[in-house]
Structure 1
Amino acid sequence: MNILYVEDNKINAMVMDKMLSKNNSNVFIAENGSQALKVVKEKNLDLILVDINLGLNQMDGCELLERFKKLDYLENIPVFAVTAYAMPGDEQRFIKIGFDKYFSKPVNFDKLLSAISTIGVS
């Protein structure tokens, strides 16, 4: 499975890469929205994981999702929010915006892997 993880925190990116790689996934890391938009053009992806806060003066994960939704070749690719936003109502807010699933940090990898296992890979 080819997974893009959009995350500006290098440690979080490294942990996610290590965990998903153990599950035989190829993980591509983008530190910001601009890098993510390049990766989606270049790689055949099965899943995109997006942090919401991608740093000062950068597009955030919600803006990035909006751009992804405009790209025809991503229309069948699920996009999961992976975020430190974990207050009551945050999950519903991000699902309503258009994310397919929501995971708060620190990520419960068993739940994430379970959600990933439901994705049909072509």
Structure 2
Amino acid sequence: MANRILVVEDNDLNRKLFCDVLRANGHEVEPVADGELVLNGARAFAPDLIIMDIQLPHVSGLDLIEALKQDPALHDVPVLAVTAYAGKGDEERIRAAGAADYLAKPVSIGPFMAAVRRLLPAPASAGGA
């Protein structure tokens, strides 16, 4: 069964790239461009992983991560934060908000997929005892 990944990214090119790469690796992907739609979208999609842009219009990705971590239905879903603004102290603030991992843009595909694999639940082993 494919892992379900919610991609929160307001930049059209980045969102398409992330989604295309994830789909090519066998994942089911739900793109979200507007941060105000994230919580309801995540509840409806029930993702195994959320990829979260930090710089979004209308709402901060940090605020969204904190809201996700306070939602009983979503608090266990790991969040991979992705941001173009990687300044001093940003990684600490992002992790303190509840992100499981962090990547600075521009994101290379190799490190991106390595982070995705680290955060996804291990596949259930086939067969029985």
Aligned ranges 1:37-56 → 2 under 5 Å: 37-55=39-57
User: In the aligned structure 2, how far is the partner of 1:45 from the partner of 1:73?
Assistant: 10
Partner SS state of residue 42, structure 1: helix
Aligned ranges 1:1-122 → 2 under 5 Å: 1-55=3-57, 58-118=58-118, 119-120=120-121
Question: Segments of 4+ in structure 1 off by > 6 A?
Answer: none
Deviations along 1:64-118, whole A, 9 cap, x unmatched?
1121112111122101111101234322231122211001111122122112223
Amino acid paired to 1:69: K
What is the aligned-residue RMSD (CA, Å)? 1.5
User: In the aligned structure 2, how far is the partner of 1:61 from the partner of 1:14?
Assistant: 19
Count residues with an aligned counterpart: 120
* Residue segments in structure 1 that go unaligned for 5+ positions in a row: none
* Residue segments in structure 2 that go unaligned for 5+ positions in a row: 125-129
User: In the aligned structure 2, how far is the partner of 1:26 from the partner of 1:116?
Assistant: 13
Identity across the alignment (%): 34
Q: TM-score, normalised by structure 1?
A: 0.89
Q: TM-score, normalised by structure 2?
A: 0.84
